[in-house]
Every structure is written in C-alpha cells, then in structure tokens.
Amino acid sequence: MKKINWGILAAGRISSWFCTGLQTVSNANILAIGSRSQEKAEQFGDRFEIERRYGSYEELVNDPDIDVIYVGVPSRWHHEYTMLALRAGKNVVCEKPFSMNAKDTKEQITYAREHNLFLMEAMWTKCIPVYRTVMDWVGQGRIGEVRFFKADFFTPGKANPPHRLYNYEIGGGALLDLGVYPITYACSLLGHHPTEILSTADFAHTGVDINNSIILKYENGSYAAISSGFNVHQQNPAVIVGTKGKITIDHNFLCAESAQLRDLNNEIIQQVHYPFEKNGYEYEGMEATRCLQAGLKESPWIPLEHTQAVMEIMDTCRKQWGFAYTFEK
C-alpha cells in the first residue's frame, strides 16, 4: 500500500515522542518537520533523519506531498494550527487537549467534515493494546454492568522555574493536560453524557489549576471519581468495578502495559501484559495511518463526537470553578 507521508508541526518534546513511535510504523514516512525557526527544524530533522525541514509552519502545511499533519504545539495553539493545516487541505492528527474549549473543537470538526478531511485527536490511550483489551472485557460482559470507575493522573511539576504545566500563557493546568485522560476513559466506559458533573479545583500562583477532583454521575446510578494534578506523587492506578467483577490497572492507566481481570473477591481471573513495541505512541500512529490508507475521515476508535463531548465536560468543570483563560475566544 502507498506510504502515508507525515508532516510534523512543532519540534518540541511531544513531537519527538510521537516521531520515536511513528518511526516503527510500517507504511508511515516522516517526510517533513516544521518549526518556528530553521535551526530547530534542522536539529529535529537530523535527529529523526527527516528529509524536508521548514522554518515556518506555513511552509510545512503547504508542502503538496504531505498527506497528514501532526500538530504538537502547546495546548493554547492547538486550534490555530489545526485550522491552519485544515485550511491548507491537509488531514490532521492533533495532540490533546484537542483545543482549549468545546467551541473551538466544534469549529475544527465542522471544517474537517465539510471539506472531507481526516481529523483525529492524538489520544494514545485509546490505541494501546491494554485499553483495547479492557474495552473487550467490558463489552463481553466479563465484569457485568459497569457501576464505578476511579482513576487519577498526577505528575510532578516544578514551580521554580515554572514547569510547562504551571505556564498560564501556553494553556497549562491540570485539567486540560492531565484530566482529559481519566475523563476520556470514564466516558468510554460509562457514556459521554453524564447527568451530573461535580468538580472542584485548587489554583497555583501562576493562575492555572494545580489539581482537581471530578465526579461524573449517570442516570443508571453508575459514576466515575477522577482527579488530576501536579503536586502529588503516585502510581496513577485505575479500577473499573462491575456487578460481576472488576478490572484493575496498577500503574499509569493512561499508557498501561498490564491489566488484571478480577472476580468480586479480588482474585485474578485473567491478566494481560503487552509490552510496547517502542514507546506507546506507535499505536496512535498505526491507527491514523490505517485510517488514511482505508480512506476514512475519522477513527472509529477515537470518534470526533467523543472528543467533542469530553471537551464539553471540561468546559462545564471550568465553568463551575469560574475559570477561563483570558486568551480564549
């Protein structure tokens, strides 16, 4: 099959992680890198042996040989540069959060659909093998009806000098950068339209939310209890409890390589271990490449309506806190 030519928009850390994984994907070719400076483009290009190096994002998106653009800029600019690529007629895979709010997300989705372009949130969690197995177990009724989901995502972030998560000007904060993962997981299990959302947050001196706690309640009585932040050290486990059993993920649920299927007495019935082929980012690269080769306009694993629904939940949380970024539209 024809190789899919990728263009990488931004030469930062997340783009380097994605390219490390993408290099292992058959039928994917990293053709070009675009950065805000030619020097950074050259350095990134040398590291990943990329043929074409552009010192501006505009040059990158206008390369006629690129099939899809990966948007890896900081959160504040996800919407701007996704739209830049879409308006240039390019398919796009955009990092999470898909934008800063549901309004911008809707604009991205609407434009892609109206112009027959592929668009996908780079939600690697939904593409890794453990997640796919967990969804299979749930779908097969192995734990009965899901009643409760709990997950946390905390990661350390230094206040001095400010870690990117503390940086208000680039869209930092716990909810959009970290909380999007447990919210996405909860919605996949319980539904994308909870009947009630209860949330609270604490704020750093820089103005961003430093931690948050969220309850999602559903009409059938099931609920999710999730939290995220960057002032707590822990292993980031998750548990999914059903009427017949439970599923446990002991370490970093969002990018886990292992999970356990248990009975109600907590005895292990089945466990799986899927070591990553590279660093875990290869799976979202595989999915996007597969979709493009098949002529799909969105991934059945990461439907755009689900991305939209998660953004709406996060908007609701921030509204409850009375928090909006001054640069939002």
Q: Give the active site residues.
A: 96
Neighbours of 84 (CB within 10 A): 20
DSSP of 6-57 = EEEE--SHHHHHHHHHHTTSTTEEEEEEE-SSHHHHHHHHHHHT-SEEESSH
Fill in the DSSP letter of residue 3: P
Strands 223-229 and 91-95: unpaired
- For residue 164, give the 3-state DSSP assignment: helix
Fill in the DSSP letter of residue 209: E
Residue 256 tokens, joined:
């886990």
Residue 329 tokens, joined:
């539209």
Range 211-218, long-range pairs (CB < 8 A, 24+ positions): 211/154, 211/174, 212/174, 212/175, 212/179, 212/317, 212/321, 214/179, 214/182, 214/183, 214/317, 216/183, 216/186, 216/187, 216/190, 216/313, 218/190, 218/191, 218/194
Q: Taken in order 253, 256, 261, 262, is the CA torsion positive or negative?
A: negative
Q: Cα separation of 151 and 87, whole Å?
A: 37
